[in-house]
Amino acid sequence: MLYPELPLVLAGPILRHTAPEVVTVWVALQKACTVELRIYHTQAIDDCLFTGKRATVALGESLHVVAVTAQTTLQPDQLYAYDLCFKFEQGECSLQEGLTSDRFPDVNLSYFDHGKPTFLLPPTQIEDLKILHGSCRKPHGHGIDALPILDSLLETTAAEIRDRPHQLFLTGDQIYGDDVSARLLETATLLGDSLLGWQEKLPLKSTFMTASELKPQERGEIATRQAGFTGGLGDKRQKVENHLFSLGEYYATYLLSWSQIGWAILKPTEPHLERFVHTLWQVRRALANIPTYMIFDDHDVTDDWNLNQAWCLRVLGRSLGRRVVQNALLAYAVFQGWGNTPERFEVEQSGARLLDAAQTWSASQGSDRAALQEIAKLVGMPPQDPKTGLPKFIQDGDVNILDRHPDALTWNFIIRSQCHEILVLDTRTWRGYPLDHEQVSQKIAPPRLIAPAALVQQLSLLQDSKHLTTFLVAPTNLFGLQVIDWIHHWQLRKKKVFSTDVGDAWNVNTDALAQLLTHLFKLRDSIVVLSGDIHYSSTIRLSYQRADSAPGVLMQLTSSAMKNEELITRIIHTRLKHWLLPEPKRKWFGWDHPPHMIERSKPIDSPDWKCELEWIPRRAAEHTDLSLDRFPVRAGLFHFNLFKFWTWKWIQDGREIVGVNNLALVSFTRDDSSLEVIHTLYWFSSWRPLEIVKSRFARSTL
């Protein structure tokens, strides 16, 4: 073992794709073994119902990962448990033995005396469904991490079939590859190199360097000039001073975000980071006890990832930029993507070939060029033009998209139960860019977040099962604050698109948004969108009307950030927002051929469709009985405590926005023929430190 004082299990188990016919559990270990997954009914906890086995993948000498699946026949409204057994060439050990060590003698991932993690399948009726979602979790971000609230919710409802949440969706920025604290980078570099057992040689201009040679607080110039990353442009160089570069650093950052174990090698010394680590045991227990699905946004790779054509040409035409993006995508595939779609990682599938290539490249200590090229192909890296070194594009209708090998993994997916379906979109790797990229204005133009053919392909998964309630996970918002729209268009005119992510919201490119809405409402009359990205939470209702069909409704439920609140989001969280800049009702008129929409307050002659958007006000904050593991509240935890009035509940109880760290719960109630969506945001009050409160948004949709 690399660290004998640490347990066998470095992170996990994390419960991933779970359905009546399959259960998948992900885990990261220090040693290679075969992992056996065992499924139980809690009413007969000693009788194993189903098993599944899979050998770990050697990502490094001391990093072995697996997502093991058991084939099952499970039923809704039943509480199930699972266990793991680790089998070596000589002997085996239980999950509890693998979780503990001299350094960590007490690790408990269960809410019950039997000691096993548990879970529920989604119910048969939509009124009983409970889904959690959240995004944007930066370890050293301001405020208290909201993801541990999930542990409190599960602890209080663990045995309650009607109250316990069924699924968790993490809708982007599960890690931050760009904006990293110095201490986390130092720990990730040391841990990553140690786990791999070798040091990756990163391609800089005219030389190679290892991650350990690129010190914290000294990476800004390299990240910006040699990798081409845009997160540090302008006066934001500090945002990339600690950018992750190596594959080992990306691997380690996942471990450090999901488990307290890796932090034993270097204790955190920054207050915000220290508080983050203090409650990681609750995050770990929660993720072991609820089926969890994940999709990337930009920070899982780097800020502005594939934002526009200028970014692609700038970054993917440089050796270091390409390597870092490829490292991030490989880490995403193993740590996030595998558990979403385990069938894509079965024998002879592209995912299995990727895992083989990752093992080969690591075993060669980074010297096997064929394995490196295979990784690039399978994670979807675009080939380079041999003359210019720039990434290749191919045409898709009236836009260009990044070229990729046909065997490359796809990241979008759909899951279904007896009462709902959730389509998770990939809005990062299938973007459509203007055909004429010689002009600067075209290079920085807002893209289609999904190119036309790719959009049809991703939405085609909704063709069946119209009786189900439909959810759409869109990591970047369809609609946002009107003032942000103004800022984006102003920044676009000034050609300063990277400073405010101009192009990452659907409604900046109205042609793409029109195509999305048209296709969605041809397939479904009502849609619930789960979104994140923007560091505030809200609920928006869009009514849609065509002359030739029934009216439609789209509810956009946004939850952001779990840990990354900022000064501006704290301000719009308060009553000042709706006093000074209330969100008005907004109207658009649209056409089908070609897809297009314009915003107008007065009617327009002969549109094919029209829609109206309104912001749903949140109700007054309510006390909850939830609590977190307590830690000392240090000076500076709450920015505005010097101004006592600012912490008053009356000031903090804004009507439109939850702008502090939060986690969201989606539930439903039915009244006669009307189905009401309830969006409940859990957050920490400022008037009573560490008190968890909730704000509710409710509106009929069906």
Please compute the mean of the pLDDT values over residues 141-156 and round it to a whole number: 96
- How would residue 640 be classed by pLDDT, with cut points 50, 70 and 90? very low
Quote the pLDDT of residue 67.
Answer: 98
18 is a domain residue: yes
Q: Can you read off the two tokens belonging to residue 80?
A: 């199930």
**Residue 550: pLDDT over 90:** no
**Residue 11: pLDDT over 50:** yes
Q: Are 167 and 222 in contact (CB under 8 A)?
A: no
Please compute the mean of the pLDDT values over residues 640-667 and round it to a whole number: 85
DSSP3 helix / strand / coil % (the chain, rounded to 5) = 30, 25, 45
User: How does the average pLDDT of the chain come out, rounded?
Assistant: 93
Quote the pLDDT of residue 308.
Answer: 94
Q: Can you read off the two tokens belonging to residue 239?
A: 């945002």
Quote the pLDDT of residue 637.
Answer: 47
| Structural domain harbouring 9 | 1-120
Q: What residues are paired with 71 via a beta bridge?
A: 22
Please compute the mean of the pLDDT values over residues 461-480 and round it to a whole number: 90
Quote the pLDDT of residue 678.
Answer: 96
Q: Of 62-66, 312-316, 499-503, which gets the smallest average pLDDT?
A: 499-503
217 is a domain residue: no
Quote the pLDDT of residue 438.
Answer: 61
456 is a domain residue: no
Share of the chain above pLDDT 70, in %: 97
2 is a domain residue: yes
Which residue from 580, 554, 564, 556 is spatially nearest to 655, judged by alpha carbons? 580
- How would residue 213 be classed by pLDDT, with cut points 50, 70 and 90? very high
523 is a domain residue: no
Quote the pLDDT of residue 1.
Answer: 55
Q: Where are the beta strands (DSSP E) in 464-516?
A: 469-474
282 is a domain residue: no
**Residue 636: pLDDT over 60:** no
Question: Quick one: DSSP state of residue 392?
Answer: P
Q: Number of folded domains in the chain?
A: 1
DSSP character string of 220-279:
HHIIIIIS--STTSTT-GGGGTT---SHHHHHHHHHHHH-SGGGGSS---SHHHHHHHHT
Please compute the mean of the pLDDT values over residues 115-143 and round it to a whole number: 97
89 is a domain residue: yes
Quote the pLDDT of residue 145.
Answer: 96
Which residue from 383, 427, 422 is spatially nearest to 405, judged by alpha carbons? 383
Tens of pLDDT, residues 381-400: 999 999 999 999 999 988 99
- How would residue 439 be classed by pLDDT, with cut points 50, 70 and 90? low
Quote the pLDDT of residue 614.
Answer: 96
Quote the pLDDT of residue 131.
Answer: 98
The whole-model pTM stands at: 0.96
CA–CA–CA angle 256, 259, 261 (5° rounding): 85
CATH code (residue 50): 2.60.40.380
The DSSP bridge pattern shows strands 167-170 and 393-396 to be: unpaired
Residue bearing tokens 């002997």: 91
**Residue 134: pLDDT over 60:** yes
Distance CA 276, CA 628 (A): 12
619 is a domain residue: no
Tens of pLDDT, residues 324-362: 999 999 999 999 999 999 999 999 999 999 999 999 999
Q: Of 299-308, 427-436, 580-589, 625-634, which gets the smallest average pLDDT?
A: 625-634
Tens of pLDDT, residues 239-297: 999 999 999 999 999 999 999 999 999 888 889 899 999 999 999 999 999 999 999 99
